[in-house]
């Protein structure tokens, strides 16, 4: 999953996006100059969200090339199991908080477009379906 996230390129990926029916998500917030330090979250849950919100443009590997402004809490507290089997509780802010919420939404059957108006969602889905029919979004060949 981590390699797929890097190849996309993206900053997060949830297992259902790659056909894995497990509650696993990965995130990477390091800049290109920094050493890679992916976060693997197994069975993540959001324990708390801040009252303060931020609006920012979000995209998704499920809808390549499409972005929408989404309002989300600017900070969250998450609990998850890491790869060592340890339970981790962490407060995330800004981009990490946004990414965690986005990926946990995937694990709960929700997409980023579920956070926009019905009209905007309908237009985006219609456009994306046209692109699919035209062969614009094809899987990368190995």
User: What's this model's pTM, rounded to 2 decimal places?
Assistant: 0.84
Q: What domains are defined for the chain?
A: 2-133 (3.90.45.10)
Q: Could you tell me which residue, 87 or 141, shows the higher pLDDT?
A: 87
pLDDT tens per residue across span 51-60: 999 999 998 8
Chain centre to alpha carbon of residue 63: 11
pLDDT digits (tens, 9 = 90+) for 32-49: 666 678 899 999 999 999
> For residue 141, what pLDDT is reported?
43
* Residue among 28, 33, 52, 103 flagged as catalytic: 103
Report how far residue 75's alpha carbon sits from residue 47's, in angstroms, rounded to the nearest whole number.
11
Assess contact for 96 and 29: CB atoms under 8 A: yes
Let me know if 103 is a catalytic residue. Answer: yes
């Amino acid at each position: 999953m981590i390699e797929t996230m890097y190849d996309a390129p993206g900053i997060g990926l949830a297992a259902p996006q790659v056909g894995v029916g497990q509650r696993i998500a990965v995130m990477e917030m390091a800049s290109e100059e920094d050493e890679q330090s992916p976060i693997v979250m197994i069975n993540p849950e959001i324990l708390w969200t801040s009252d303060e919100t931020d609006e920012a443009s979000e995209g998704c590997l499920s809808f390549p090339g499409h972005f929408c402004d989404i309002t989300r809490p600017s900070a969250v507290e998450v609990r998850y199991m890491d790869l060592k089997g340890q339970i981790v509780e962490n407060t995330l802010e800004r981009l990490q908080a946004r990414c965690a919420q986005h990926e946990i939404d995937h694990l709960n059957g929700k997409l980023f477009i579920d956070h926009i108006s019905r009209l905007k969602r309908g237009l985006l889905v219609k456009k994306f379906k046209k692109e699919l029919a035209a062969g614009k979004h094809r899987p990368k060949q190995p």
